[in-house]
Chains A and B, each alone.
Chain A
């Protein structure tokens, strides 16, 4: 009997708890509207069916008194009303939206995440792209597509059969066997996650236990891992297979207080003795090092570290450029040394939208640990800049863990579906194949140089 089980995330509509600014402000000059209606009544000889026919098909000027009490929450910004009646109505972008997010997480990204968290669906809209041609960071990267290669010839698009599973842990370059055929040396020690996304903990300033519980329940439902300090696990009584505790050399003993041995442990910073101690104490667990992006990646891989969780700040800052470039550098240095298959790279920081996940994997990560998007999904409002995990302040509505967990599941479901769109377009059957596939990445600077180098004024 086949053990195949198709991974599926249950989604359900979960509306926002707190108010959210409308996209548009509807301004109506009521005197002008009254004049217009009187003119129309006279012109149409009091045919109310004609006079009452409104220009809005979305209900902004619907009953009971139409434009005299417009409903801006229904406005989608089509502008038909203002095109038809410039003297009566104007539609303005809502300035309150500018307060959403911060200098990295844009109001549009906040809007999108809230839609994804509320619906679990892929955002689909008409018309073409509306933004800047390219930009710094992730906006300087396009993924490739294939005209004819498909993940599989089955199904409508083939994407129904794409795997998003990833392996975390170490895989030796080769296996040794004794004369009986039994492996004698290092063997693969990995855990498989059904999605290439883990949860990073909320900022340390977040004291609302319901938020932590929402994270915890969602990680369990998604069969992924929530990374969090072991002290927080103990203080909040969060225990279960979905947790990957973070420890420092000073608090290794706290792991003994957990009710069950963890599947994955992250050691904060490289400390060889502590690393060895953890490996001995938890032989079945994947033990990784959590550290900022650095040149030590190759050295640690050589010393047998099978998982590196590389951290940037929430804005993707690494102290050595944007996280996209730091991921590439780490990945390429491991490839150059022939060590890439022996270590898993998990990265966090700088992920603010669904497309950033495949782009980060394309640049070289095996999996992404999500942070700020999870906060936004729970309608967290940033208080000032949300860049430093130690100091960032986020305000949440009064929430129930079940509400939050479903919002997080919806968000991840939507992001997974969007990952499938990218993989389908590229003709890849599993996300493992996307990792570090830089030949299928198109960088703005490279394309611009190739296309425009001979044009006068181009300086590359």
Chain B
């Protein structure tokens, strides 16, 4: 290869790349959906097209916070349906960024458990459809703990053999939630003195903690690096799948109820298609996919009843009935108290 050929080849490569620079913008699907990677069936586009004839494009986001920031900064333009957790859906609605649901177009709403159709942040599903729900609690190695953990204090003030072998969720609401619940307060507590009490408890707990971990805590359990972790129920199941000694328990003080929802953007240009998509997901067969593959409970009666019995045997928290789940406290947007939570979390993270 001489110099000239090299230069020609390089120029050609740049031209080819320039072509794909613009290819991005041109493609127009009938519907753009943003979701966490792996949260829907891989063949969702094909099966949806078969059912409705519509092309969908699925894009991914990593966290609620990121997609939320992006929607606020860009007014949600370009997106039709977005998956976010309920406090975020609540805020998006308060900001006027969500389209009210056209219930006539979503007859499958009838598949939802009555409890799921009446959640306090959106009674009657005016602007959001619940996709999955669950709680958080303690996920532990039953072969490595001397006493079965049953309280938030088992995590916050662990027995000697568990010191340095516990992890906690670091996302602000759940981190604070553990402290608030241990003190007997609400997960949405707005009283600054109570928030500070929880903060002090959590700063103390930091001393016995291995790490704050939102993403790999179940791997820490399987490797044996940790023995007791603060976990979302569905994620604990990923640990259980690898090791049968891993168990999940909701502490006796109670816990939170989290809901992942689907919402339609006000700026969407494909609202009709968006409603069709919500209806498609709510179909018992389609919604069951999430329960079976993600191991999250779904608020869809038809879907849950279609699940094989073994699933509940292997992952006992999948059997938790809706009536029990909704007894836990629903996470709500904090409004003005958000500032106090942020500051408390910063103090915890900055403490030695």
Chain B binds chain A = no
